[in-house]
Homo-oligomer: A and B are copies of this chain.
């Protein structure tokens, strides 16, 4: 398994989906998944996607600056992304970092762990 290739494909798909229709992220999480979003904790696909859908903006665009991935001994993939967020058409980006742990259910990778933080510079 090439962790970097999986990470590239996953991250592209994740943000395309996030930026077009956040509700469609639901199949990427499972009942065992965790999200930490700016310090708040959410568990399970339904709670996680409810949180993401409730974020108070109409439109968002993620621009990925870096995407680093490594395998773990248990066959998971850990990813750290840095990038910029453009919210509601504003021209001043916000900077963010996001950590994912992807796990394979036998057929597909899903998001086991997800930690999101804005970076205030």
Interface residues of A (CB under 8 A from B): 32, 34, 36, 39, 65-66, 68, 70-74, 76, 78, 80, 82, 95, 97-99, 101, 103, 112-113, 115, 117, 119-121
- Number of this chain's copies in the assembly equals 2
Q: Which residues of B contact A32 (CB under 8 A)?
A: 73
User: What's the least CB distance linking A84 to chain B, in Å?
Assistant: 9
Residue contact A117 to B73, C-beta cutoff 8 Å: no
User: What's the least CB distance linking A45 to chain B, in Å?
Assistant: 15
Q: Which residues of B contact A121 (CB under 8 A)?
A: 95, 119, 121
Other than the given A78-B99, A82-B119, 4 more pairs (CB < 8 A) read: A78-B115, A80-B80, A80-B117, A99-B99
